[in-house]
A and B are shown apart, each in its own frame.
Chain A
Amino acid sequence: MSLGFVRHILMQPWHEARQIGQAWLVWLALLTGVAVLGATVGSGGRNPGHILIFLPAAALIFFGWLQLVLTALKQTTPSNARLVPGLRRRVTAVIIATYIGLAAVIGAVCLSIFGTINWGLASVSIGGLVMATAAFSVGSRLAAWTVFVVFIGGWQTESGRQAAGLFFVAAGQ
């Protein structure tokens, strides 16, 4: 048996988003998050404003991961979970592995920027993410849009970056 199931499980958010015409949203979230974290590290990570960039970028990456969780839940219907060999176990393993992988990336970036892993910021990120996800799961696209608009706008200027960060910190609290 091949490891093809890993690819399939990872592709489900993309397929689902494409089906509702929002594939670009998933790509945008993931690429923006990764690009911003990369740029932040590349620029030396010594600018205090980078804190404000870091939070929404990390949130975008976790937003993509949450889509993976949501589609994973839909895949593990009672009959699939019970009867498809190893499906539930493998889906769970992929979810945990991607979580650990993404957390490691974000932790490494956090370490690069701040010289330490800032658990306070991590908590705020999770708070904002929970709020965004809650809004998304009850059918509101506003949370997702807000993250993008505020973040992309904020990326243009230093003050914008600060505003974006402040907004996200406020949202998280």
Chain B
Amino acid sequence: MNDVVKLAGVSKAFGKHMVLNGLSWTVERGKVIGLVGRNGAGKSTLLLCALGIYETDAGSIQMLGDRVPELSDATRARIGYVPQSSDLFGWLTADQLLDYFRAFYPRWNDVKVRALLNRWGVPRDRVISKLSGGEKQRLSIIRALAHEPELLLLDEPVSGLDPAGRRDFLSELMSDVVDRETTILFSTHILSDLERVAADVAFLKDGAIRLHGQLDELIETCRRITGDKHSIDALGIQALSREENVNGTVSIVARLDDRHLRSVETRNGALRVDRIAFEELFEEVTR
């Protein structure tokens, strides 16, 4: 079974505000996926629903073959999670906290834990409530990696880290993927980090995944096409975004396969075709 996370028709609303709207999506084993979206798009809600921490209003979710929320203990031991805001026990030291959680997991990599504590400079004997935000974040990540999960979900894991901390963290993640084929799904709004790890990217918009693909491939295949309305419509392309310009022309951003790319190129006189950067793609898809 290659699908590690499988969501089918998942909906979640808070009052009248629909956050996830019939979302269907699969995450394959060994992928590193950056989940991006505007503030309030529902990234955290999606992760929390996937983990069974939030109940869904409709749809079904499977994680590592188990139905959510009825995960077996064995499956839970294969999942790691870093929440957006630290939920560490403020009254313990880092050593005590890690010792506490070690008792619940059948597998625990002490060597890795010690190495990360040292390398990331997390004080081991200071009470957690007195650690800085970045130190708590690092400790949260160490805790989530310590039992060597097959599936790691991280909610804005680098938001509290400085650039050096982010680089270390991403390098650790990637070595985990290479060494153990860990599947990693993390929400972020720092697009440069995604470019650095060459991850897959999933864009969340209007309660659904609007676009998902390998970052380099998306950059390679997505174009902004500008022309008169008739020419644009004649392409028959499903646009990711569409905008009418002040001069009466229309611009669309679309993901083009080879056939469409050739078709656009043959009409190059009537259409202007531009490559777009990742940040522009983010703005267009999530607008």
Contact = CB atoms under 8 A, between A and B. Distances in A.
Nearest to A86: B73
The interface centre, meaning the residue of B69, B79, B91 with most chain A CB atoms within 10 A of its CB, is B91
A159 B90 CA distance: 44
B91 A85 contact: no
Contacts of B83: 79
Nearest to A13: B91
B76 A83 contact: yes
A2 interface: yes
Interface in B233-270: none
Contacts of A71: 91
Interface in B66-125: 69, 71, 73-74, 76-77, 79, 81, 83, 87, 89-92, 96, 99-106
Contacts of B69: 82
B10 interface: no
A79 B74 CA distance: 16
B53 A79 contact: yes
Interface string A79-116: 11011111100100000000000000000000000000
Interface string A46-77: 00000000000000000000000001001101
A85 B99 contact: no
B18 to A, nearest CB: 22
Contact of A83 (B51, B89, B129): B51
Most buried by A among B52, B77, B103: B103
A79 B84 CA distance: 11
A87 B100 CA distance: 11
B127 interface: yes
A82 B92 contact: no
A1 B81 CA distance: 21
Interface in A8-37: 8, 12, 15-16, 18-20
Contact of A85 (B53, B76, B92): B76
A8 B99 contact: yes
Contact of A80 (B79, B87, B102): B87
B89 A82 contact: no
A42 interface: no
B53 A78 contact: yes
Given A83-B81, A87-B104, A15 B92 contact: yes
Contact of B89 (A18, A75, A86): A75
Given A8-B99, A19-B127, A77-B87, A82 B105 contact: no
6 contacts: A12-B89, A19-B127, A20-B91, A78-B53, A82-B52, A82-B53
User: Which 10 interchain pairs have the tightest Cβ spacing?
Assistant: A4-B103, A85-B73, A16-B91, A5-B103, A19-B91, A85-B76, A77-B87, A8-B100, A85-B77, A78-B53
Interface of B: 51-53, 69, 71, 73-74, 76-77, 79, 81, 83, 87, 89-92, 96, 99-106, 127, 129
Interface of A: 1-2, 4-5, 8, 12, 15-16, 18-20, 71, 74-75, 77-80, 82-87, 90
Given A74-B89, A82-B52, A83-B71, 18 more contacts: A1-B103, A1-B105, A1-B106, A4-B103, A5-B100, A8-B99, A15-B96, A16-B91, A19-B129, A77-B87, A78-B53, A80-B87, A82-B76, A83-B79, A83-B81, A84-B104, A85-B77, A87-B104
